[in-house]
Structure 1
Amino acid sequence: NIRLLSLYILSSFISNKINQNHIILNCLQCEQCPLNVYEYRTKIIYLQKLSIDFILLNNQSSLFHLSMYYLLGILCSNFTPLWTISIELLGSYGNKAIEYIGHQYFWSIINEKFQLIKQHNELKLIEQINDKLINEYIENLNKKNHDNEINEQSIDYIQYRINLIQILNYFPHECEQKIKIIFPIIFEFFSNEYYDNLLSL
């Protein structure tokens, strides 16, 4: 689990580990909870500590971006009970926490996640190329990933994009000011995926 390892590394830089309300320690505890229907309520309690009010109450506004990255990571999982609260929290960040994160940095993070989906779709196109050497390379790469127990298929990229768009619905006024970022994302979707799917019908 890359997310868990990353949080372990970040937590090693925290001098005062007694404060369990620290964002990194809170995210670490959340990540350590088993991802199942029996423990998800405990995860939600930890996620609620990533709310704007709670973070400001603990004077950790400088770490909003870490909280944002973690919540976006939660949306990569196929465990749907955590999606709603994560989307709502990220939506609230776009309304209130964006001033602390910085407008440019906030949108660079959002755009980064949309580009992740784009890169995944480009890799899918490569897999369709009828070239023996490329297919052999991809096959070896997939085998290597399988041996290392990396399960990329656990991410539903279509659903992930839907979740990202749902986040944008929470701050439409902010979105209106970032047309240069949002329009290319929409046009690429229609030109590279939606239109091609229509032609294949």
Structure 2
Amino acid sequence: MTPQHSPALPSLGGRKPSYRERVADALRAALIAGELRPGEVYSAPGLAARFGVSATPVREAMLDLVREGLVDTVPNKGFRVTAVSDKQLDEYTHIRSLIEIPTTVRLAATADPVALEELRPIAQEIVTSAASGDLIAYVEADLRFHLGLLTLAGNDHLVEVVRDLRRRSRLYGLTALAEAGRLEASAEEHLELLDALLAREAEAVRTVMTRHLGHVRGLWAAP
């Protein structure tokens, strides 16, 4: 199915900090998915129109992304998405594999089954987003799932390291995968991973996680 580009943000009500954070999350997801391209300059009003929100929270959210090093300010024009080299992406993926694979494998022996089952709706949301071609929703749900899973290991610093690495990653091949109908297969690996964890099958968890992370610089790497 053809990917949906520039969707309006859902449920952006509430106090202003939550609104700003929600906008920032959606902008990060658009950047990671490759819908906001490196080197391109985007204005706050232009992004606001694209996402169906007002310009002020977009401008504030983009300043958050400046502090994270994901975009640079361009005086009197807006914000430029910073470029990430193939070498950097390979390094990010390597570090993630060193952290996420063994940590997730250990959860096969330690994680509370109830806590694991609570992640199933998010895993299903990833599959649904893949089926509809909503790449921003896909990236956001994928982030929530994996960070939620790592949180079960009880190491907050580890979670923050992985969060930062994921924010810096780019998945430029997502659009092509969605158009080719191949994104759903990757999405369903989240459900496969949960089933392996609940079955306490550590080697199966290792196999799924290794394959899944391999997509980051394999299936998803094409510009």
Q: Could you state the TM-score of these two structures normalised by the residue count of structure 2?
A: 0.26
Where is the strand percentage greater, Structure 1 or Structure 2? 2
Where is the helix percentage greater, Structure 1 or Structure 2? 1
Kindly indicate whether structure 1 or structure 2 has the higher relative contact order, using CA contacts under 8 Å at least 6 residues apart: 2
Structure (1 or 2) with the larger CA radius of gyration: 1
Q: Could you state the TM-score of these two structures normalised by the residue count of structure 1?
A: 0.28
